[in-house]
Amino acid sequence: MSTIYATLERLKISLPPAATPAASYQPFCISGPMVYLSGHIAKKDGAAWVGQLGLTMNTAEGQEAAASVAIDLMGTLQAACQSIGKDLEAVKQIVKVTSLVNSTPEYTQQHLVTNGCSNLLAEVFQTRGLHARSAFGVAQLPLGACVEIEMVVELNA
Amino acid sequence: MSTIYATLERLKISLPPAATPAASYQPFCISGPMVYLSGHIAKKDGAAWVGQLGLTMNTAEGQEAAASVAIDLMGTLQAACQSIGKDLEAVKQIVKVTSLVNSTPEYTQQHLVTNGCSNLLAEVFQTRGLHARSAFGVAQLPLGACVEIEMVVELNA
Amino acid sequence: MSTIYATLERLKISLPPAATPAASYQPFCISGPMVYLSGHIAKKDGAAWVGQLGLTMNTAEGQEAAASVAIDLMGTLQAACQSIGKDLEAVKQIVKVTSLVNSTPEYTQQHLVTNGCSNLLAEVFQTRGLHARSAFGVAQLPLGACVEIEMVVELNA
């Protein structure tokens, strides 16, 4: 078994199917070797994971939400790979992660929240999971979600 | 006449010239087959379309603003294509749309606002217009604009 | 001496080493000819340059902060070039700049703040420094920084 799928099994992570967009767009778009993944909002029990950091959620809860988004992103990424007859082993590297954290004007730990996603990607993809990243605090997110994360991923030729 | 231009004519949409940046940058940058379009703010009567969702504008008005940005983006995209001797028929696919919605901390319908842009792109470019997307609420935008949208587009080789 | 390094010397700019991420990610990721640079927060005396436009900082101060981020980004970009045996002369063009300005809900000059970065890039890289750009106001940034900027850069083949 590949390293990636063995790690997912060890971590008891089941990847969901590609996210269903909440509106008129696609969960991913493949352009050359690159996969652009739409912003995925955190979900809990199938609905938006509602909350705002600094108001109704603390950093540890935000990290948990960010990790759950990473799982959903990997599910969508797997679906992208499958759409061209491959699987997650086709990933050359996670290139860029952009993390939008629903924040009060006082909350300043967006980078720590986002580590919930980055750490999981690094554990699953190892050196292929090291990425460039931006994290920042947004005024609000669709459906009141606490975190939204998008990714750009390069596949092997 | 091409499908794209025939659709624009049917919808009575006249594309403007490339947006003039409000500062020291370019309206677009071409890199290989990709066109990166700068964030375009919504405009009304030639000036910034000022407003904030949840405070001075509702979702329907935001959708109208997002659709107007889509028209401006298509104008800039056409200028990008023309700069290399092509037109909008050179578009292979709209890859990524990122939509920044000027939002109060309570407003949570950024995805619906952004549909004003996504739906128009899908109507004009059909399957080539299906894109990955992120939409989120920002604290404020340049000149007080209600919506700002950027795009990444792939052209045919 | 190359134009780029001669300009940096004339401007008395010393490039720092690649930024050390405040969390579990990389300062840059190279994918084909593209370099994706992580969001770099403004720093002062080695710590986050704390402030919010419209509250504790004015536009001129924000521009100064954005220019300082441009220097840090060029430092990281140089490190990216060096990692593949090149230097800043390998830059084909600055493709995209995304600027996140820590803003009150009333502050609307994010584009002017961001000019502090764009103008310096244009001065150092000349026509190669002209880029697509988005600038917007965020609710808050990691560590309370006033500005965070990320870039996508194309290198010569």
Residue range B62-105, pLDDT digits in tens = 999 999 999 999 999 999 999 999 999 999 999 999 999 999 99
- Contact (Cβ atoms closer than 8 angstroms) between residue A133 and residue A97: yes
Mutation for A interface: C56, C97, C140, C143, most A CBs within 10 A: C140
Residues 6+ positions from A133 with CB-CB distance below 8 Å: A96, A97, A98, A99, A114, A118, C21, C23, C25, C26, C38, C39
- Contact (Cβ atoms closer than 8 angstroms) between residue B139 and residue C137: yes
Q: Collect all residues of chain C within an 8 Å Cβ-Cβ radius of residue B25.
A: 97, 118, 130-133
Q: Which CATH class is domain C3-16+26-155?
A: alpha beta
ipTM over 0.90: yes
Chains that touch B (3 or more CB pairs under 8 A): A, C
Chains that touch C (3 or more CB pairs under 8 A): A, B
Residue range C42-58, pLDDT digits in tens = 999 989 999 999 999 99
Q: Does residue A42 come out as left (phi exceeding 0), alpha (psi in the -120 to 50 range) or beta?
A: beta
- Contact (Cβ atoms closer than 8 angstroms) between residue C76 and residue B12: no
What is the model's pLDDT at position B21? 78
- From the candidate CATH numbers 3.30.1330.40, 3.90.180.10, 2.60.40.1930, 3.40.50.1970, the one assigned to the domain spanning B3-12+28-155: 3.30.1330.40
Per mean pLDDT, which range of C18-22, C35-39, C99-103, C137-141 is the poorest? C18-22
Cβ within 8 Å of A, B 74-93: 93
Q: Collect all residues of chain C within an 8 Å Cβ-Cβ radius of residue A95.
A: 29, 31, 36
With a cut of 70, say whether residue B22 has pLDDT above it: no
Residue range A10-57, pLDDT digits in tens = 999 999 998 887 677 999 999 999 999 999 999 999 899 999 999 999
Domain residue spans of chain C: 3-16+26-155
Sheet-wide strand order for C132-138: C28-31, C34-41, C147-155, C91-102, C132-138
- From the candidate CATH numbers 3.40.50.1100, 3.30.1330.40, 3.30.390.30, 3.30.470.20, the one assigned to the domain spanning A3-13+28-155: 3.30.1330.40
SS3 at position A10: helix
List the one residue out of B99, B141, B152 whose CA is nearest residue A96.
Answer: B152
pTM comes to: 0.97
Whether residue B142 and residue C136 make contact (CB cut-off 8 A), yes or no, is: yes
| Residue with the two structure tokens 């405070």 | B55
Chain B contact present for C68, CB below 8 A: no
Chain C contact present for B19, CB below 8 A: no
SS3 at position C148: strand
Select from B103, B115, B137 the Cβ nearest to the Cβ of A24.
B115
Q: Collect all residues of chain B within an 8 Å Cβ-Cβ radius of residue C34.
A: 31
Question: What is the distance in angstroms between the Cα of C100 and the nearest Cα belonging to chain A?
Answer: 8
